[in-house]
Structure 1
């Protein structure tokens, strides 16, 4: 099966790419924006992986990716890429431009890529979509994460639409909402805050990227009866 993972060269994306590649039965295509060295290292490690340059800030690269999706015969789409910061500023201090720019960089590319995949999936009468969100949609959102969490909430609702509109075509659309992880995306978080998160965690440790990647793989392999759900990975800190 052919898989497309956006933002698959570093952090959580790298763990997902490697987890899918290790299965041996997937041809994994993954995008990267600036982490060329990391992307090439993954290609060298896994013969069934192919890196594709696609910066969500560059419209031409998005269009190029969209153009080859039918040719690659993608059957599973993992929406993982995110451009920007986890923590930005207080909501009342965030400028209108900041919201618009983040929407343009993080929502519109996902819409275009997913529309293209769904059109392809409908012709094949099967396909799977897994979108990475955040447990902050269930827990109290972190202070300063208004833009990030708003984007993720938008994608959560879109995923429900994808599932509802396409289930009769054998297409599933699910989301996964991981709790805080230590990756390059969250490196700017103060160590004292990280320690507080760990001390309040039932397992007294943070969620790992490998654990999330295993859960993404579960949704990618799951029955068509699992459709329209959000898989929450937060050790029952909050239950929805």
Structure 2
């Protein structure tokens, strides 16, 4: 790969993010692991030989300052997210705002902060972790699904705007993945989402990380504006 490239993974210390951080480090990237909890991010960074940053993606000013202060960024993985299950009519406005701030506004802030470095070096990858909820909807998860759908439209636009700089922008859309967050759901809810996949099983963080690894690679230089589902065929229905 020549000069070592730098990948920044938001929420990169737990769940899907941890799998992505580990995989990109194994691929030869210098990985910057970010998270709200400095100690957790630092522990992961030390384990994979990378760096860490602590900030909350819902804080625009702190996010921009941290990413711009990190130096060169070649690959941005917008992974940080937060979920809350409730019927939309029962959802408090404060919770709605938090969902939007983390799952959508955080993607906008991180991308706006990282793009100038990629444009300067005329190479880059913006990879956003979406969700099948953004394509097929999700009962009790309307605002989260709306944010993930918006992230797809945003990524398509970034792909159009930045192709001239050699930058690609793509989305990885996981289905139900075996993570601590998923295990907070009831056994019945887990069974329901598992049965919505064609493979009738949960995915793994490593399977999501493999998709990110490809999109971050030189081999994916002609792939942009795409949504790559890692969901066991969840979007197929039936």
TM-score by length of 1: 0.88
| Structure 1 contact 163–174 (Cα < 8 Å) conserved | yes
Moved more, 54-63 or 142-151: 54-63
For the pair 1:34 / 2:37, whether they are aligned, the reply is yes
What's the secondary structure of 1:163's corresponding residue?
A: helix
Match of 1:80 in 2: 79
1:16 matches 2:27? no
Q: How many residue pairs were aligned? A: 232
CA spacing shift, 1:145–1:199, aligned 2, 3 Å: closer
Q: Is the contact between residue 53 and residue 61 of structure 1 (CA under 8 Å) also seen in structure 2?
A: no
Q: Structure 2 unaligned runs (5+)?
A: none
Corresponding residue for residue 47 of structure 2:
45
Give the alignment's Cα RMSD to 1 decimal.
2.1
> Where does the alignment leave 5 or more consecutive residues of structure 1 unmatched?
none
Q: Normalising to structure 2: TM-score of the pair?
A: 0.88
**Counterpart contact for 2:42–2:52, Cα < 8 Å:** yes
C-alpha distance in 2, partners of 1:114/1:56? 11
Query: Deviation at 1:197?
Result: 3.3
Runs of 4+ in 1 over 6 A off after TM superposition: none
Where does residue 4 of structure 1 map in the other structure? 8
- Separation in 2 of the partners of 1:66 and 1:231? 26
1:198-209 correspondence to structure 2 within 5 Å? 198-209=194-205
Q: Deviations over 1:179-214 (max 9, x none)?
A: 111212223211122123334543332111110111
Cα distance in 2 for partners of 1:108, 1:202 equals 32
Report how far residue 60 of structure 1 moved: 5.2
Q: How does 1:14-163 map to 2 (within 5 A)?
A: 14-23=18-27, 25-34=28-37, 36=39, 38-47=40-49, 49-59=50-60, 61-69=62-70, 71=71, 73-82=72-81, 84-87=82-85, 89-139=86-136, 141-163=137-159
Check conservation: 1:6, 1:78, Cα contact below 8 A: yes
Q: Distance in 1 between matches of 2:10 and 2:142?
A: 23
Q: 1:63 to 1:173 in 2, by over 3 A?
A: closer
Alpha-carbon deviation of 1:78?
A: 0.4
* CA offset digits 1:157-184 (Å, max 9, x no partner): 1000000111111110000101111212
Whether the 8 Å contact between 1:177 and 1:233 is mirrored in structure 2 is yes
- Identify if the C-alpha distance between structure 1 residues 96 and 8 changes in structure 2 by more than 3 Å, giving closer, same or farther: same
* Gap change, CA 1:68 and 1:196, over 3 Å in 2: same
Partner of 1:193: 189
